[in-house]
Amino acid sequence: MTATAQIETARAWLRTARSIAVLTGAGISAESGVPTFRDPGGLWRNYRPEDLATPEAFQRDPLLVWQWYDWRRSLIANCRPNLGHYALRDIEQRAAAFTLVTQNVDGLHERAGSQRVLKIHGDIWWVTCLQCEKTTTDLRVPLPDLPPRCACGGMLRPGVVWFGEPLPQWAWQQAEEAVKTCEVLLVAGTSAVVYPAASLAPLALASGARVIEINSEETPLSGAATCSLRGPSGELLPLLID
């Protein structure tokens, strides 16, 4: 099938589906200027996750970890949603049932107007107190004091999921439910190698859904997906809307 025919087919599936689920990864924000993790020039090419994105790293050197998150927060604050984020907002507005599951912590889906967003890896704008365990939103960039402190005096940590930590239970349950019950799952901009997020597309396929992948490169999911479209999500996603 030609690329044009593939896009037309995917568009028809989305038009007629009663329920749509979406899984996004860092690639969807790449055209906004947010660095991905595993591409050439990605964050994990220049930094080691075990130094910056594990509970052990934070325990060892909270200031270093906070400096890295503060840098990423400042970078993201200067980025805007792109046409891929806006296309997903439009798909949500037309669908009877819709759930967007994202591994991204940048908040760009909400800024584009998406409503039902499950943030299975947390949010870089959230801060959680290690003492009173309260999570709040802090949009200041840069943060005035690092590591930041809660009103109760406890140290705050970034409200994101680190390697080795469980995913937020409620969001994960909703995500599994959404992919099990959807007719179409759209997977955009993820390398499909980080679990448990990477298990959502196989779960959708096993439950009888069509899975449409959008990625600039081939991934471990590409062969199994019902339809795999190769290219930038900011260009391809708008083509999937009538």
Interacting residues toward ligand OAD by CB under 6 A: 25-27, 30-31, 36-39, 42, 53, 103, 121, 161, 163, 189-191, 194, 214-217, 219, 232-233
**Catalytic residue (choose from 72, 73, 109, 121):** 121
Concerning whether 121 is annotated as a catalytic residue, the answer is yes
Scored b (16 or more CB within 10 A) or e, 28-56 reads bbbbbebbbbbbeebbeeeeeeeebbbee
Residue 150 burial class via C-beta count within 10 angstroms: exposed 0-12, middle 13-18, buried 19 and up:
middle
Scored b (16 or more CB within 10 A) or e, 161-188 reads bbeeeebbeebbebbbebbbbbbbbbbb
Paired with 157 in beta bridges are 128
Closest CB to ligand OAD among 33 and 142? 33
Closest CB to ligand OAD among 141 and 194? 194
Q: What is the distance between the alpha carbons of residues 129 and 150, in angstroms, rounded to a whole number?
A: 6
Closest CB to ligand OAD among 3 and 132? 3
Q: Which amino acid is at 197?
A: A
Q: Which of 106, 104, 162, 153 is nearest to 130 (CA)?
A: 153
Is the separation of the CB atoms in 58 and 157 below 8 Å? Answer: yes
User: What minimum distance in Å lies between the beta carbon of 57 and ligand OAD?
Assistant: 12
User: What minimum distance in Å lies between the beta carbon of 73 and ligand OAD?
Assistant: 14
User: What minimum distance in Å lies between the beta carbon of 152 and ligand OAD?
Assistant: 27
Neighbours of 8 (CB within 10 A): 14
Closest CB to ligand OAD among 19 and 226? 226
User: What minimum distance in Å lies between the beta carbon of 130 and ligand OAD?
Assistant: 19
- Give me 109's structure tokens: 């889906």
User: What minimum distance in Å lies between the beta carbon of 153 and ligand OAD?
Assistant: 28
Catalytic residues: 121
